[in-house]
Structure 1
Amino acid sequence: MAYLLLLGAVASEVVAALATRFSAGFTKLVPSAVAITGVVGAYYLLSLALKQGMDMGVAYGIWAALGVTAVALVGAAFLGDTLTWAQMIGIVLVIGGVLSLELGGQH
């Protein structure tokens, strides 16, 4: 259940990041409200995952890695952002680091 809450937190954070892009510096009401609600929702869901006993380092690492990966891929696929080979390698390294945190903590 903690991992489902964490995935919800990631999704909420990704929506917030994308809404921020469309908020025009928080001058557009709807995208600004979506961004703020998304961030609050993300932290709330993260707190619930932590409450269920998930380690902070692992939870935050997964959240950050999946979030940055999703935002980068959505930006490249739908928003015209560029994604260079160096950036793709960086994403792979971030995911590898999170996997190391998760697998290294298992007994």
Structure 2
Amino acid sequence: MSALAITALIGAIVSEVAGTISLRRASSGEKRWWFGVGIGYLLAFAMLVVVLGQGAALGVVYGIWAAAGVAITAILDRLLFREPLTGIMSLGIILIVGGVLLIELGAQGT
């Protein structure tokens, strides 16, 4: 992946997490957070288009984006909203990240 693709992928992950955290805030009745939801998801998908336009494989990009989003959101959810993050949930995050790494390794072998 090119430097532009990696940068855009990181931006897509950060934007998606920001949109999701905003969604959590908006769901509790704070309507001003809906702006953050829309902007976060719009930027995330726009940046994914950039990554894919750089020639990155969709399966790899989507796997990294989704796994990082799940892991970071779960951790922030615990820190910001005191939601549970159990050992089983942590194991699930580790398995997701491991699965994405295997997809990446498999894609490099082709």
Answer whether TM exceeds 0.5 for this pair. Answer: yes
Once residues 27 and 81 of structure 2 are traced to their aligned partners in structure 1, the CA distance between those partners, rounded to angstroms, is 15
1:14 maps to 17
2:101 maps to 99
Residue 45 of structure 2 corresponds to residue 43 of structure 1: yes
Residue 74 of structure 2 corresponds to residue 52 of structure 1: no
Which has a greater percent of helix?
Answer: 2
Shift of 1:79: 1.4
Once residues 32 and 86 of structure 1 are traced to their aligned partners in structure 2, the CA distance between those partners, rounded to angstroms, is 31
Structure 1 gap ranges (5+): none
Shift of 1:103: 1.0
Once residues 82 and 25 of structure 1 are traced to their aligned partners in structure 2, the CA distance between those partners, rounded to angstroms, is 18
Once residues 24 and 11 of structure 1 are traced to their aligned partners in structure 2, the CA distance between those partners, rounded to angstroms, is 20
**TM value normalised by structure 1:** 0.94
Shift of 1:44: 0.3
Shift of 1:26: 7.1
Shift of 1:24: 2.7
Shift of 1:36: 0.7
Query: 2:90 is matched with which residue: 88, 91, 95?
Result: 88
Once residues 19 and 78 of structure 1 are traced to their aligned partners in structure 2, the CA distance between those partners, rounded to angstroms, is 11
Large movers: runs of 4+ above 6 Å: none
1:24 maps to 27
Residue 8 of structure 2 corresponds to residue 5 of structure 1: yes
User: Sequence identity of aligned pairs in percent?
Assistant: 37
**TM value normalised by structure 2:** 0.91
1:71 maps to 73
